[in-house]
Amino acid sequence: MVKGSYDFIGLNYYSAKYAQNATCSHNQLGLRFSTDSCVDLTLKKLNNPVIYITENGYSELNTGKFSKHDNNRIKYFVDHLSSLQRAIKRGANVKGYFAWSLLDNFEWADGYTIRFGIVYVDYNHGLTRRLKDSATWFKQLLH
């Protein structure tokens, strides 16, 4: 009764395994992390649904010190968004992308020990906020 009744599929992910020239057998059609290389079959099986990437990002260890320069995060976004653009050109029905996260925050499994934000939050000095290089990069990307 509910088959095909969704409006879109929202995906949250922070790492993935990539395969080149991978072949997929019929027993790999289940939607699991380990079948990322079967994306073409997955899209066919689901009738190429509208996809929103609702959380995706790069984390750093919280050293407690402000670091404006987060070039690894920028490289992650450049590489990931380039791959996403190629998938869209091949027909993936991706309609939105949300980077995680705008601000450093409390993570359920890790507390304040990691930082996902493109804006640094100083937990020890009144929650002062400072833009990291990745925030400036995103601003330029969106203009």
pLDDT at 121: 92
Contact yes or no for 46/90 (Cβ under 8 A): no
| CA–CA dist 43, 121 (Å, integer) | 39
Q: Is the dihedral of CA 47, 5, 96, 110 positive or negative?
A: negative
pLDDT at 26 over 50: no
pLDDT-based confidence at 16, cuts 50/70/90?
low
| pLDDT at 25 (0 to 100) | 55
Residue 86: predicted pLDDT: 84
Q: What are phi and psi of 120, to 5 degrees?
A: -75, 135
Are the C-beta atoms of residues 94 and 88 closer than 8 Å to each other?
Answer: yes
| Gap between the Cα atoms of 56 and 34, Å rounded | 18
Q: Kindly state the tokens that stand for 7.
A: 């409006």
pLDDT score recorded for residue 107:
85
Read off the pTM: 0.76
Which one has a higher pLDDT value, 42 or 2? 2
Calculate what percentage of the chain has a pLDDT beyond 70.
Answer: 78
Q: What mean pLDDT is reported for the chain?
A: 80
Tens digit of each residue's pLDDT (9 = 90 or more) over 80-104 = 888 888 888 888 899 999 888 899 8
19 has a pLDDT exceeding 60: no
**Is residue 52 pLDDT above 80, yes or no?**
yes
